[in-house]
Chain A
């Protein structure tokens, strides 16, 4: 436990990838196999099932600290991290950790797993016992294990790199070996086996990324040199169909097979030795559900029946990177596209087809494409993609051949009504804002926004929030309306779940309108007019 806590703090104290890599490699070099299995699970975001509620932990910690519960909540608002708050208020234990010599796996077995079966009295005993055995910094890490998450800003890729370094093998091979999970010490030892057979066989290609178009499309030259497609509001993936198997890889190079079983099943019908680049879309009854819905699927390791039924997904292909086992990335897009079309996938939208073809938007003039782009919001897409027909499939984000031509966001001016202290870097600063617009002489809340201001502005807004607080409800402050923000969002629709009767999509603050008074802000009527102006239809066609 001590070693894992030390790793946690080493990772936490640096932003340098090299330092993190070194810390991880040091840890895995020294760790026992079963401890390493636990550490891997925790580092890759795996959660320990919760054996005790945070309500009980708060109650016991405030009791041990001799402070009322409300004061602990005040502390939480300042600290922005419950695990840390609990550790900071608890009486300081013995300076030397007694967890010494007890490995992570044993520690979890002894102090966390028994909590699940225990009654509250026994839980309290176990928790107090653990507090006695841990130093303050170790308590924070233990609280994090107890309450679920232990995220410390390391990507799976970084963990894979560190393990690859320890094993002395290629990082991509290690990434592949890590796929499917490491459940036992035996799985863990297999990561370090010298044989490399079959490894890499399901590996995707590095994704080629587009840049945002920041000049008029006409500047790109003749429209005939460009292939235009819809810019989907989905998740970029590659489908790898090789050696009798299939894999769905996200852009974060994570295997998403278990989240998208229906895609995987359909991909089995593709000819062996092919790799498709495209987008996962959430579609129900012909209507695009958008990224928010899709993220509920991505967020799950394993898709449940309910989620599969609620959020059906399709894959639309827009590039072919490999066919008959041949790497096609060096061919011009026009040729890759020709070969992609020979696979015989139906063009999106087609009912009851899981794998579909993303349509080309052929045009004779930029004006035609501009007109198509103007319909993007109605179709539930983000705009257009422009890809040079002669371009090869590159690596990473190389400017010049692939452009995102997104639609302009909708915007209104809204008034700050509530503010809440943020977490992590923003702990103690009121940085989560609830904004409102006018309706019948009153301000009604329409959106929460967490981003868009600079750090200096957040500090300034925090000060104003404190100075204009009318009421406090725990960490939330109700302010007298003085600040106006320009709010951008991707769409607006009617909603019965929101008090104002409308829901905005992906709201974010564009700028602080210091030049405007609250009375200058928009009204609910203005927002509703935006819905009527862009009545949502169904899928793009």
Chain B
């Protein structure tokens, strides 16, 4: 029995259905799990994604290529292969791809998290014979606190900065994390201000029906913004850039799963970091893998070697799968920070490929 997916130079390919999942080159037909740059590339002839994520995907890939959509759980046949999409809980519209052919089922998770997120649908456990899972945070050191706990910490930090007349800047990926934070914090503390790249996605989220608190854009050609009361949400690429000078005295804190590790926090030179991730933590990965009841597990991007080894020791047929997905790269893994201003294309921002 042939595998339903194979690794080709273009990416994960289903020969039986003649389509790709999250290809990294131009292909005729791409099923896209979510709109982050390492999973969704422009230039394919035709796309398929979850209905909830259509506007976000269009915003990211641009162009006019047709985007077909499926509601979560809805199934279609592509060249005789049954395909359905199931919520992955990573960002708005993120989906797991379930592929069934000749009685065999594969599930490609894309990026996912099990934690609750007011800005996207919750993760759905899907059973499969073969489970292709991400492993960005696949080491046991990564265990997330409840989002409410993190929100309280951000609120407290915001108030503390406010009392000292300092602006609070949270660094978060422009698609997903930024909106999640806006929805998590307490808007009664003060104004929430968004970087242009974040604002673009805030609009797309709202257009997609996601409720977000009032968020101010940074006015074009502004020379000074706010009076030290605001919470600014900006992409990681603004760290160390002149854009931050807009806010006068400011405190900067990244929000990322990587902030678990003190060495990474210190390397970033940030006094503060919040451990908040849109990926599953280690226990979350194990839970999803177990709930899939899969006998065979392929582990992509992240701690794929060690997670596969651990699963093997637990009796599963597991192996790492070398894709070009990067997951959420460690914050300083994206080369030198670029100047990031109002005009910056969100796709051009560094470390954005979450």
Contacts and interface: CB of A to CB of B under 8 A. Distances in A.
Contact of B271 (A13, A68, A85, A423): A13
Contacts of B264: 427-428
Contacts of B140: 65, 67, 71-72, 75, 88-89
Contacts of B330: 428
Contacts of B310: 67-68, 71
A75 B260 CA distance: 12
A424 B263 contact: yes
Contact of A459 (B141, B262, B335): B335
Contacts, number: 72
B210 interface: no
A92 B262 CA distance: 17
Contacts of B272: 13
A272 interface: no
Nearest to B336: A456
B317 interface: no
Contacts of A29: none
B331 to A, nearest CB: 11
Contacts of A92: 143
B333 interface: yes
Interface residues of B, number: 24
Contacts of B38: none
A15 interface: yes
A428 B261 contact: yes
A258 to B, nearest CB: 33
B141 A79 contact: yes
A459 B260 contact: no
Query: Of B263, B271, B303, which is in contact with the most chain A CB atoms at under 10 Å from its CB?
Result: B263
Interface residues of A, number: 33
A450 to B, nearest CB: 15
B323 interface: no
Contact of B306 (A71, A427, A429, A463): A71
A432 interface: no
A71 B333 CA distance: 23
Interface string A72-103: 10110011110011001100100000000000
Query: Of A80, A424, A425, which is in contact with the most chain B CB atoms at under 10 Å from its CB?
Result: A425
A426 interface: yes
A405 B293 CA distance: 71
Nearest to B258: A428
B266 interface: yes
Nearest to A472: B305
Contacts of A79: 141, 261-263
B314 to A, nearest CB: 10
Interface in B260-294: 260-264, 266-267, 269, 271-272
A466 to B, nearest CB: 11
Interface string B107-149: 0000000000000000000000000000000011101000000
Contacts of A88: 140-141, 143, 260-261
Nearest to A460: B335
Contacts of B333: 459, 463
Contact of B261 (A68, A71, A78): A78
Interface string A51-73: 00000000000000101101110
A14 interface: yes
A223 B264 CA distance: 52
Contacts of A13: 271-272
Contacts of B343: none
Interface string A13-46: 1110000000000000000000000000000000
B313 A427 contact: no
A70 B306 CA distance: 9
Interface in A268-288: none
A15 B269 contact: yes
A12 interface: yes
Contacts of B313: 68
Interface of B: 139-141, 143, 260-264, 266-267, 269, 271-272, 303, 306, 309-310, 313, 330, 332-333, 335-336
Given A80-B261, A427-B263, 14 more contacts: A67-B140, A74-B139, A74-B303, A75-B141, A81-B262, A84-B261, A88-B260, A426-B263, A427-B264, A427-B267, A428-B261, A455-B332, A459-B333, A459-B335
Interface of A: 12-15, 65, 67-68, 70-72, 74-75, 78-81, 84-85, 88-89, 92, 423-429, 455-456, 459-460, 463
The 5 closest A-B pairs by CB, nearest first: A427-B263, A88-B141, A425-B267, A74-B306, A75-B141
